[in-house]
Structure 1
C-alpha cells in the first residue's frame, strides 16, 4: 500500500480548517474540558493561535494524505524546539478508516520528520480515543503524561 503526503493546497486547507475546528470542539466537549456553548469559539481561538499565518505558518507542515488519487485524510506536524516534532492532528476520513491508511501516514510522517532534522515526535491523544491510542502504541509511541479526572 502506497500512501503519499502532499502539502495541502489553499482550498484543502480551508476545508480542513472548517472540519478541524468543529472536530476539536467536539473532542473537547466529549472530554469534559469545554461546555458546548463555548466550544467552537474556543477552538477557533486555538487554531488562530497555533496557525497565525494559516497553512504558511513557519515550522508547521500540513499534508493531505492520499492513496492513489483519493484523499483519505490529513496530518499536521510542527517542529517545536530542539529538533522535536509534534503531530497536532491526524484524521483519516470516515469512509477510509480501518484500511491501514493511518498507520502508513504515521510511518510517512516519521520519514518526513527525520529528513527535516527532527529526532523525536510527540502527540496528544484524547483518553477516550482508544483506537488512536492502540495505533500509536503499536507504532512505538509511549505515554509520557496521563491526566485523569472524575466527575462528582
Structure 2
C-alpha cells in the first residue's frame, strides 16, 4: 500500500464522505435530529478548513494499492504540539485486511517527521470496532464524556 497527497478531486470525494458519515455519528452519539447534526458537522468542518484543501497545517492523503483507491486520511498538525487524525476512511471492501494498521504506522512516522510528540484522535463512544482498532494500534483513552438521558 502507498499513501500519497490527495488531489483536489480526491479531497472533494473525501469531504463528501465526511459530510455523510460525520453528521450520522454526531446524531447517534448525541441523540440529535440528523438535520441538526448536519449543521453542527458543517460548522465544525468549515471552522477547521476555512481554505479547504489549502488550509495551513492540514494534510489530505489517499491510500492506494496500485491504482486502486482504498480510502482517505485527514491529518492536522497543531504546530508541533500533536498531530490529530481527523479522519481515516477505508472503503468497506478493504477493511480488516491490514490496510488500516499500515496507515496507522505511517501516521506515526508522519508525526515524527513533523516533530509531533503524539497523535490524537476522536472516536464516538458507540463505535466499539474503531475503539478496539485504535487500542490494537497502541492508542489509549485520554478522557471520557458521559451523558444521562432523562
Which range moves more in the overlay, 99-108 or 38-47?
38-47
Q: Deviation of residue 84 (structure 1)?
A: 0.9
CA distance in 2, matches of 1:33, 1:53: 31
> What runs of 5+ residues in structure 2 fail to find an aligned partner?
none
CA distance in 2, matches of 1:67, 1:82: 30
**Structure 2 contact 74–88 (Cα < 8 Å) conserved:** yes
Q: Which residue of 2 aligns with 1:61?
A: 59
CA distance in 1, matches of 2:2, 2:120: 21
CA RMSD of aligned residues (A): 1.3
5 Å-filtered alignment, 1:3-152, equals 3-32=1-30, 34-152=32-150
Report the 3-state secondary structure (helix = DSSP H, G, I; strand = E; otherwise coil) of the residue aligned with 1:31.
helix
Q: Deviation of residue 103 (structure 1)?
A: 0.8
> What runs of 5+ residues in structure 1 fail to find an aligned partner?
none
Q: TM-score, normalised by structure 1?
A: 0.92
Q: Deviation of residue 150 (structure 1)?
A: 2.6
Q: Deviation of residue 51 (structure 1)?
A: 0.7
Report the 3-state secondary structure (helix = DSSP H, G, I; strand = E; otherwise coil) of the residue aligned with 2:119.
strand
Q: TM-score, normalised by structure 2?
A: 0.93
**Structure 1 contact 22–43 (Cα < 8 Å) conserved:** no
